[in-house]
A and B are shown apart, each in its own frame.
Chain A
């Protein structure tokens, strides 16, 4: 399916480029240097710089960025987890609500990187997309030699990437409501009319966080919680 092909016509994969960018440690999102093909809006919309890290090390963050970008990749139909800033969501939550998973991320990200070097000869973030997918598939199936607990870590990262892509943007992910727009979620409403529940109704997207509503803005969860 061409729409899902992560490789660019120029032969350079988006992910390989991202790897080069992030390997330099640049606080730059992919879309700053590489507009996603076929998405006119994205080409005119500059994504913000990557946020300052709150919990992860730079190397861990680069690795995690690359992983989330393969779990839910950007494609011509729209942004993916990297653009939704799922990694930022995870980085923040690991200092709060997901603090119990901090050690699992330390070990798991190191495990993926070590396996990427052993199997493909380079750190995960610097691999081409196809090689990254192959590495992740091995991790998912628990066949990544030398990486104990690989499948459990894969499931953890996948579940958190989904949370960071489709959760309320208050928590640092789902940037520009990318996740909600992807699946057609019409958004948080405080009341829903009967006709909005008809089979063919298509309520307009609200593009509101729960905490954009004044009723809840004074009771925001603590940062990280």
Chain B
């Protein structure tokens, strides 16, 4: 029998990227917030520069919830299951995956909010890919701009603005939408390699710029500047330069005395009353079960767990899962088309042993609708990104470009010469939702508590494949212009478990096709808010976290401003 706890105003499920942000405006508004986090606090000394632990062993010192709930995947409903990874791409801790994410903190570009109407207007309706369920967002970039701005300041984003109030600055991204003001910090510094690549991009007539990152480029709000030590990628930051919510918004919210953080709280259901309103959540901590009553619940775990918890939370009012009477929970799922990339081999050492994935140069000339698609057979585009980052095991696992076998004396000779001569781009591309890509509960595979894990049924379609090929060609051109002697395109892959998982609880005005309304509250359950990329209907060509955080702030602020109508 669950122990009943004292009622609170708001309970947040998950104190990661979005829950950790939403807690702050709620607490500042004077609402009592309980944050339920499956993981624990991690200290800077826990975040060691250890490639084996961080990149191969799934953070053994943290709570192993996510790693035991890795979603299953099949490309389509009649295809065999893909091999199930041993490690979940996300982790459990206060701050969640913002502890070890790359921290690239992009705003979406204006086109990403109106893919349908812009495509119709510029190319005609027939240009939209067959089977896509994409919709325009219920608002444009200008609606989200103030929230991007708030989050950039709170977590500390460094970057070079390219468009302040409509004034274009060629040092930044000339394609970005207007910003109210510059970034709170200048961009992370360049390196010999990134400067070499920027020069090559300019020689092609492109517009390279340093990308934005939630990483301090100097001292900021009492936090150290980045030390570029090379273990940022799936490693945490031992000097708290990474703007994880664990070192920014969560402690700030705690200082209001309105936020209570409960660690090692494993939420198993969101519970509704007879009227179909959310009444609180049930969670386990150790061997004990608790019920936390709340006037409002914000679900902020991660796309897979958001969907799974809704589907597991069945009741008389919601027999198919919470807020799923329209059958939209799990629909419009997509993972970012970012697997296909380009490997390059240079005839010289690049000295990229240090740095971080966010220390790089972007090219947006081939992203979104920044170029004419009239003669092309796809819509959307890709952000081309190169960066300084290498660790020894990863270096040893580099491609041999057909120049050596995978092992033995010849391999050893190859790796001795080339370990610091390879580079791999990061290419993020427009990805669309389709009618037959979705999430549901796996009929067979269960977690240790006996609950079904999330199942992904999804694959990339023609638009994603053509776009991948196109951006790989552009990237190849860039590498060759910089002097690469060999390049190699990698396959597009499939939509297995990923850190960029979108949709499943999409945001939109139409309750027939969307789970949450334009404010992030469930159409069917007015006191249930949902945070995270699961509400996003398009991906853009860039990392989702800042957009998910801006949306989370906006949802929280809306809740505080409309407390009476939402909470009662």
Which residues of A approach B to under 8 Å, CB–CB? 1, 3-6, 70-73, 75, 77-78, 80, 97, 100, 133, 136, 140, 158, 162-163, 165-168, 170-171, 179-180, 182-186, 188-192, 194, 196-203, 210-211, 215-216, 218-219, 221-222, 225
Contacts and interface: CB of A to CB of B under 8 A. Distances in A.
Given A73-B408, A190-B238, A192-B230, A198 B192 contact: yes
Contacts of B228: 191-192, 197
B396 A179 contact: yes
Contacts of A183: 392, 395-396, 415-416, 419-420
Interface in B328-358: 348-351, 353-355
B415 A215 contact: no
Most A CB within 10 A of own CB, among B49, B193, B348, B391 = B49
Contacts of A199: 192-193, 196, 348-351
A218 B355 contact: no
Contact of B395 (A166, A171, A190): A166
A77 B412 CA distance: 10
A4 B410 contact: yes
A219 B238 CA distance: 12
A80 B407 CA distance: 11
Contacts of A77: 413, 416
A186 B412 contact: no
Contacts of B239: 191
Nearest to A179: B392
Most A CB within 10 A of own CB, among B53, B227, B392 = B392
A178 B413 CA distance: 14
B402 interface: no
B407 A71 contact: yes
Nearest to A198: B192
A166 to B, nearest CB: 4
B193 A185 contact: no
B409 A185 contact: no
Given A168-B50, A197-B355, 20 more contacts: A1-B409, A1-B413, A71-B407, A162-B397, A163-B56, A166-B396, A168-B52, A180-B392, A185-B392, A185-B395, A186-B353, A190-B49, A190-B227, A197-B351, A198-B351, A201-B351, A211-B48, A211-B50, A215-B45, A221-B60
Interface in B410-453: 410-413, 415-416, 419-420
A32 B183 CA distance: 60
22 contacts: A1-B410, A6-B409, A71-B408, A72-B412, A78-B416, A136-B407, A140-B406, A162-B397, A166-B395, A167-B52, A186-B354, A189-B229, A189-B230, A190-B227, A191-B227, A197-B189, A197-B193, A197-B388, A199-B196, A216-B45, A221-B60, A221-B61
A123 to B, nearest CB: 20
Contacts of A170: 50
A49 B462 CA distance: 58
Contact of B412 (A73, A192, A197): A73
A4 B86 CA distance: 36
B51 interface: yes
Contacts of A190: 49, 227, 229, 238
B86 A100 contact: yes
Given A158-B406, A192-B229, A199-B193, A216 B416 contact: no
A221 B396 CA distance: 23
B463 to A, nearest CB: 33
A192 B354 contact: yes
Nearest to A162: B396
A189 B354 contact: yes
Interface of B: 43-46, 48-53, 56-57, 60-61, 86, 189, 191-193, 196, 227-230, 238-239, 348-351, 353-355, 388, 391-393, 395-397, 406-413, 415-416, 419-420
Contacts of B351: 197-202
A185 B52 contact: no
B48 A167 contact: no
A73 B409 contact: yes
A65 to B, nearest CB: 15
A14 to B, nearest CB: 12
B57 A182 contact: no
Most A CB within 10 A of own CB, among B51, B60, B412 = B412
A77 B300 CA distance: 53
A219 B48 contact: yes
A4 B395 contact: no
A38 to B, nearest CB: 14
A6 B410 CA distance: 12
A158 B412 CA distance: 13
A216 to B, nearest CB: 4
Contacts of B227: 190-192
A61 to B, nearest CB: 20
Contacts of A219: 43, 45-46, 48, 61
Nearest to B191: A197
Contact of A166 (B57, B353, B392, B409): B392
A190 B61 CA distance: 21
A4 B414 CA distance: 11
Nearest to A71: B407
Given A167-B392, A183-B416, A191-B229, A210 B48 contact: yes
A201 B192 contact: yes
B406 A200 contact: no
Nearest to A173: B52
A4 B409 contact: yes
A73 B405 CA distance: 13
A107 B45 CA distance: 39
Contacts of B46: 219
Contacts of A158: 406-407
A165 B392 CA distance: 10
A40 to B, nearest CB: 18
A163 B395 CA distance: 11
Given A199-B350, A216-B45, A70 B408 contact: yes
A165 B408 CA distance: 13
B487 to A, nearest CB: 20
A197 B192 contact: yes
Contacts of A211: 48, 50
